[in-house]
Amino acid sequence: MKNKKEKIDNPWKELKVLRKKIYELTEENSSLWFLLDEIEKSNIHSKENRETLRAAFDRLQKVSLMMHKKAEEA
Tell me the pLDDT band of 5, cut-offs 50, 70 and 90.
low
Q: Which domain holds residue 53?
A: 11-66
Cβ–Cβ under 8 Å, residues 8 and 2: yes
Residue 73 forms part of a structural domain: no
Eight-class DSSP state of 7: P
The answer to the question of residue 1 being in a domain is no
Contact 40, 52 (CB under 8 A): no
Q: What is the pTM of this model?
A: 0.47
Is the residue at 36 inside a domain? yes
Read off the pLDDT of residues 17-59 as tens digits, 9 standing for 90 and up.
Answer: 999 999 999 999 999 999 888 877 776 667 777 788 888 888 8
Domains contained in the chain, number: 1
Does residue 4 form part of some domain? no
Sign, Cα dihedral of 41, 44, 49, 50? positive
Residue 17 maps to a domain: yes
Q: d(Cα 18, Cα 10) in Å, to the nearest integer?
A: 12
CA-wise closest residue to 69 among 9, 10, 41, 29: 29
Indicate whether 33 belongs to any domain: yes
Give a yes or no: residue 6 inside a domain: no
